[in-house]
Chain A
Amino acid sequence: MSLATDFNRGIWKENAVFKLLLGLCPVLAVTTSAENGLGMGLATAFVLVCSNAVVALFRHLIPAKVRIPCFILIIASFVTVVQLVMEAYAYDLFQALGIFIPLIVCNCLILGRAEAFASKHPVSHAVADGLGMGAGFTLVLFILGGIRELFGAGEFLGFSIFGAGYQPVILMILPPGAFITLGLLLALMNKVEKR
C-alpha cells in the first residue's frame, strides 16, 4: 500500500464522520459556524497526526497490555499542547471552542486510529493516515459549520450572504440543527455512493 492510499482513505472511503460515524460529539457541538468547524477540525487533525506519529514510533516498545493507557497519555499530552498554544496565540477561537478543546482527548477517532492503524504501521504511513483522516474530519466540520452558519445566521465565514433583510433560521445553530444537517448530508452521501 502506498502513502497516497493511506491518505486518501480518510478523505472519502473511510471518512471518520460520513462513513464510520466517529467523533460525533465535537461534530455536532461546535459546528455553529464555518470558522469554528475549521478551527476544531484543524486542532483535531493536529492531535491525530502527532499521536499517530508517536504511537507508530514507539509501537515496538509499548507493551500490548498497557497500550491503551499509553495511547491516552500521548493523546492527552498533545491535546494539552494544542490548548495552551491556542489560548496563547488564538484567544478568540479558544474562547469559541471552549470546553471542546480538552474534550478532543475522548474523540474516539484519535484513539481508534492509534489502535487500529498507527500501532501496526511504520511512522510514514501512520502520518499519511493521520493527515488523511484529519483532512476528512476537518472537511466535514467545515461543510457542516458552513451550512449551519449560512442558514442560521445568513453569513459565511462572518460575511453577510443574504443581506440584512434575511430572517435567520435559529433552529440551524441550535443543537437540533446539527442533527438535521448531518442527517441530510449522510443521506446525500449515500445517494451519491449508490450511483
Chain B
Amino acid sequence: MKEFSRLIIALTLIAAIAGGILAAVESMTREPIAEQRRLQMLRALSAVLPEFDNSPDSDTTTIVTGSDRQGREVETVFYRGRKEEQLVGTAFRVVAPDGYSGNIAVMVGIRPDHSVHAIEILTHAETPGLGDKISEPWYKALFVDKALDSNDWRVKKDGGEFDQLTGATISARAVVGAVRTGLELYREHEDKIIAQGVTNEPGN
C-alpha cells in the first residue's frame, strides 16, 4: 500500500508540474499565435480582394450556408472589403471535399458584380509536382474575371473551359468546383452578405 501511494504521488506531481509549465508557455504564446493567424488571414484577404481601406477581418458577417452529413448547420464567414465605405469585394473560404488527397481550402474573392477578383489556395495536400500546381500563380490567374453565367465551369476534359493540369485532373476539377460553389453561394446569399452591420466579433 505504501509503495502504491508512492507511485500515485510521483505521477501526480510530475503531471502537475508539467501542467503548470504548459499553462505558463501557453499564456506567453497566446498573443503571438493569434497575431500570426490574423496576419495569415489578412495576407489571404489582400490577395483575393480588390484594394480596400477597411479591415475586412473585422467587417464580417456569418451566414448559415448549408448543412453537413450529420445535419448540423455549416456557417460561412464572409469578409467584406470596402474602399471609401463602398463595398468592393467579398471574400470567403470554400472547401473542396473532392481533392486527390484530402480537402482543398480555397479563398475566393468576389466583386459586387458577381465576378471573381482572385482566388487563393489556403491549404491542400495534393501531389507535389502534379496536383500542387493548383497553388501556382498562373493557375490561380485562370479564375480572374470569370463569372457564373459567362463561363463554363468545367475542366476542358469534361467539356468546359478550364485547364485540367496534366496528370492532375482531379485536383483541377475540385478547385473549379469549389470556386463555382463559391459563386453560387454568393448569388444565393447576396442580400444578407452586403447588408450593413457586423454579425460577429472580429477574428471569429
Also in contact, A32 and B10, with CB within 8 A (given A73-B18, A77-B18): no
Does any Cβ of B come within 8 Å of A74's Cβ? Answer: yes
Q: Which of B32, B33, B40, B128 contacts A173 (CB 8 A)?
A: B128
Interface size on B, residues (CB 8 A): 21
Contact B128 A170 (CB under 8 A): yes
Contact B25 A81 (CB under 8 A): yes
For residue A168, which residue of chain B has the nearest CB?
Answer: B129
Does any Cβ of A come within 8 Å of B204's Cβ? Answer: no
- B22: min CB distance to chain A, Å: 6
B75-116 at interface with A (beta carbon < 8 Å): none
Contact A63 B36 (CB under 8 A): no
Contact B33 A62 (CB under 8 A): no
Does any Cβ of A come within 8 Å of B74's Cβ? Answer: no
Contact A63 B10 (CB under 8 A): yes
Does any Cβ of A come within 8 Å of B64's Cβ? Answer: no
Contact A174 B21 (CB under 8 A): no
Collect the chain B residues with CB atoms within 8 Å of residue A88's CB: 29, 32-33, 36
Question: B134-173 CB contact bits vs A (8 Å, 1 = yes)?
Answer: 0000000000000000000000000000000000000000
**A65-B4 Cα distance, complex, nearest whole Å:** 10
Contact B32 A66 (CB under 8 A): no
**A89-B35 Cα distance, complex, nearest whole Å:** 10
Question: A151-171 CB contact bits vs B (8 Å, 1 = yes)?
Answer: 010000000000000001010
Contact B22 A89 (CB under 8 A): no
- A36: min CB distance to chain B, Å: 12
Collect the chain B residues with CB atoms within 8 Å of residue A173's CB: 128-129
Contact A66 B127 (CB under 8 A): no
Collect the chain B residues with CB atoms within 8 Å of residue A74's CB: 14, 18
Does any Cβ of B come within 8 Å of A85's Cβ? Answer: yes
**A6-B105 Cα distance, complex, nearest whole Å:** 48
Does any Cβ of A come within 8 Å of B130's Cβ? Answer: yes
Contact A170 B129 (CB under 8 A): yes
A44-64 at interface with B (beta carbon < 8 Å): 58, 61-63
Question: A79-92 CB contact bits vs B (8 Å, 1 = yes)?
Answer: 01100110111010
**A76-B32 Cα distance, complex, nearest whole Å:** 22
Does any Cβ of A come within 8 Å of B11's Cβ? Answer: yes
Also in contact, A63 and B7, with CB within 8 A (given A32-B128, A74-B18): yes
User: In the complex, given contacts A77-B21, A85-B29, A88-B32, what are 10 additional A-B residue pairs having Cβ atoms less than 8 angstroms apart?
Assistant: A58-B14, A62-B14, A70-B14, A73-B15, A74-B18, A76-B18, A77-B22, A81-B22, A170-B128, A173-B128
Residues of B at under 8 Å CB distance from A? 3, 6-7, 10-11, 14-15, 18, 21-22, 25-26, 29, 32-33, 36, 40, 127-130
